Amino acid sequence: MPSDRRLEREAAKRRRQRRGQAIAVASSVVVLGGLAALILTSPGWPTVRETFFSWSIFKQSFPHVLDAFWLDVKVFVIVEVAVLIIGLVVALVRIARSPAIFPLRLLAIVYVDLFRGVPTILLVFLIGFGVPALELSGTPSEPVVLGGIALALSYSAYVAEVYRAGINSVHRGQRDAALAVGLTETQAMRHVLLPQAVRRVAPPLLNDFVALQKDVALISILGPLEAFREAQIIEAQTFNFTPLIAAALLYLAVTVPLARLVDRLGGPEGAVR
Amino acid sequence: MSAAVPVLEAREVTKAFGEREVLRGLDLTVREHEAVALIGASGSGKSTLLRCIDLLEEIDDGDVLLDGEVITDPSIDPVGVRRRLGLVFQAYNLFPHMTALQNVILGERRAHGASKAEAEERGRALLARFGLAGREDDRPDNLSGGQQQRVAIARAFAGRPRALLLDEVTSALDPELVGEVLQAVRDLKQEGMTMVIATHEMSFAREVADQVAFLHEGRILEQGPPTQVLESPKQEETRRFLSRLLEAGRA
């Protein structure tokens, strides 16, 4: 039998919760309703609705944009795998202490500085148009491949730094303990430091995945028919921007679930196991 | 005392971190089956000495010998030396992403090349021996400090070391958990394990150690049987250190 004091506390707690919910609902209605009213009553709204949100054009263009979107997904998956591997290798080279790989370390530093410092769109241009212009035999000439290479080079530089920060964040006592049980430096990295580092950097890595997924649209400047490009083509034919909205929804369909995954991994519990 | 070659020997060991000289020509001898307690103020170099012996720090001058062989020669591979020694850390330093059993067998599998089945069987037996039967699959965060430190002792012992180095193994523990860890060390002593024990627990040093060495300003200022060093120290500094501990209620 709970005491009166306890019942009173529980009632007060419920009142507080109800009040909080009421405020949240009211403020959402005011803010969102206000925004909706502002947009819907704006003088240009009827035109905007017709050119951006035309249902008939949406229905007609969506299958085409979706078809093209598979290219985005393919490029994303392949580039992401490459980025995870290249980024890790660059991070390990930067961290290794062996004097034998000093030149590689120098190269890794220059690589990160250079490719992280140049806008991704510029890299896509330079590699997409520059490499074929060299006319070297054996170099890829497919725009999709070149665009993918540009994206991989750019994102690997970021991801290398994420890995490196993760490895450096593992307490040095862990390395000591690994060496003390008789592991070599390489074994200590592989079995003790890296597994802990990767768990820690999973949220920032996923964050970079989200960014990469969107940036796949950049390869459209080289010509491949991916979602954004396809949407633009239909837009040019119909003089209507709705296909771009369709493309945007497709990107969101991938990035929003990824973002929720990031939230869960980096949540208050941080329970990444 | 046997005339055999000592298991561990430090000769004139010098170690500085930048300008700060921590060890200044330190000599220490540890014979087979002997437990040597290292006592001394915080910062007197106890941990540094143990880390230098395990080659986690490079000494500046002097030599450390293991079974009569100089191990601090720069041409010697430190990995092989560390496989012959065990080190237990003050803060346990267990691998948090592994279970208790995985912690214990990592060295045996990767450093000593034991098969998984073999290492696991021995790891379970070791954990049971230190009172951790049933906790094999727990991760360190699910264990108490005392349990974690016992896993760490099992891990250090798993490599069949010639000598165990214990670095203030009870300092991070709640007082009521100290006893279980000391019991584990007592068991090892009874089995004849050669040990160097850096400690603040004077009563424990008195009970378990064959020799007590007082570290002061980077040297062993006084060394002898516990009764002698702890009860009738010859050096003024030793007396002062012990009376400070007595005041703090730790002796």
pLDDT exceeds 60 at position A267: no
For A182, the closest of B56, B97, B111 (CB atoms) is B111
pLDDT in tens, chain B (251 residues): 455 789 999 999 999 999 999 999 999 999 999 999 999 998 889 999 999 999 999 999 999 999 999 999 989 999 999 999 999 999 999 999 999 999 999 999 999 999 999 999 999 999 999 999 999 999 999 999 999 999 999 999 999 999 999 999 998 888 888 999 999 999 999 999 999 999 988 988 998 999 999 999 999 999 999 999 999 999 999 999 999 988 876 54
pLDDT exceeds 50 at position A270: no
Q: Which residue of B has its CA nearest to A173?
A: B93
- In B, which residues are within 8 Å of A181 by CB distance? 82, 106-107, 111, 155-156, 158-159
pTM of the model: 0.83
Q: How many CA atoms lie within 13 A of B104 on its CB side?
A: 33
The answer to whether the CB atoms of A182 and B156 lie below 8 A apart is no
Whether the Cβ atoms of residue B200 and residue B171 lie closer than 8 Å to each other:
yes
B131: left (phi over 0), alpha (psi -120 to 50) or beta: left
Top residue of B51, B93, B155 to mutate, by most chain A CBs within 10 Å, is B93
Average pLDDT over chain A, rounded to whole? 89
Select from A229, A228, A250, A79 the least CA-distant residue to A150: A79
Alpha-carbon gap: A192 to the closest alpha carbon of chain B (Å): 7
d(CA B87, CA B163) in angstroms, rounded, equals 9
- In A, which residues are within 8 Å of B82 by CB distance? 179-182
For B83, the closest of A173, A182, A192 (CB atoms) is A182
Split at pLDDT 50, 70, 90, the class of A77 is: very high
Residues 118-177 of B with CB under 8 A from A: 155-156, 158-159
Pairing of strands B61-66, B8-17: antiparallel
User: What's the pLDDT at A266?
Assistant: 62
User: What's the pLDDT at A271?
Assistant: 42
d(CA B49, CA B165) in angstroms, rounded, equals 10
Alpha-carbon gap: B242 to the closest alpha carbon of chain A (Å): 30
Q: Which residue of B has its CA nearest to A182?
A: B83
- Chain A CB within 8 Å of residue B112 CB: yes
The ipTM is 0.94
Q: Which residue of A has its CA nearest to B54?
A: A180
Distances (CA, A) of B167 to B21, B33, B92: 20, 18, 10
For B110, the closest of A180, A183, A199 (CB atoms) is A183
Top residue of B56, B105, B166 to mutate, by most chain A CBs within 10 Å, is B56
- In B, which residues are within 8 Å of A182 by CB distance? 79, 82-83, 107, 110-112, 159
User: What's the pLDDT at B248?
Assistant: 79
- Summarised one tens digit per residue, pLDDT across range A193-239 is 999 999 899 888 988 988 998 899 898 888 888 888 888 888 888 88
pLDDT exceeds 50 at position A273: no
- Chain A CB within 8 Å of residue B81 CB: no
Query: A8-25: string of b/e by CB count within 10 Å (b at 16+)?
Result: eeeeeeeeeeeeeeeeee
Backbone angles phi, psi at B191, to 5 degrees: -75, -10
d(CA A182, CA B157) in angstroms, rounded, equals 12
- Chain A CB within 8 Å of residue B223 CB: no
Top residue of B56, B87, B105, B106 to mutate, by most chain A CBs within 10 Å, is B106
Instruction: Report the share of chain A in percent with pLDDT over 70.
Output: 97
Q: What is the DSSP secondary structure assignment for residue B57, as one 8-state letter?
A: S
SS3 per residue for B115-176: CHHHHHHHHHHHHHHCCCCCCCCCCHHHCCHHHHHHHHHHHHHHCCCCEEEEECCCCCCCHH
d(CA B1, CA B13) in angstroms, rounded, equals 24
- In A, which residues are within 8 Å of B112 by CB distance? 182
Helix, strand or coil, per DSSP, at residue B114: coil
The answer to whether the CB atoms of A184 and B89 lie below 8 A apart is no
pLDDT exceeds 90 at position A130: no
- Summarised one tens digit per residue, pLDDT across range A160-203 is 999 999 999 999 999 999 999 999 999 999 999 999 999 899 88
Q: Which helix (H) or strand (E) holds B47?
A: helix B46-53
d(CA A48, CA A39) in angstroms, rounded, equals 10
d(CA A69, CA A53) in angstroms, rounded, equals 20
Backbone angles phi, psi at B204, to 5 degrees: -70, -40
Select from B56, B242, B202, B243 the least CA-distant residue to A188: B56
Contacts of A129 (CB under 8 A, 6+ apart): A222
Whether the Cβ atoms of residue A159 and residue A87 lie closer than 8 Å to each other:
yes
d(CA B30, CA B26) in angstroms, rounded, equals 13
Alpha-carbon gap: A93 to the closest alpha carbon of chain B (Å): 21
d(CA B12, CA A230) in angstroms, rounded, equals 77
d(CA B91, CA A230) in angstroms, rounded, equals 59
The answer to whether the CB atoms of B56 and A178 lie below 8 A apart is no
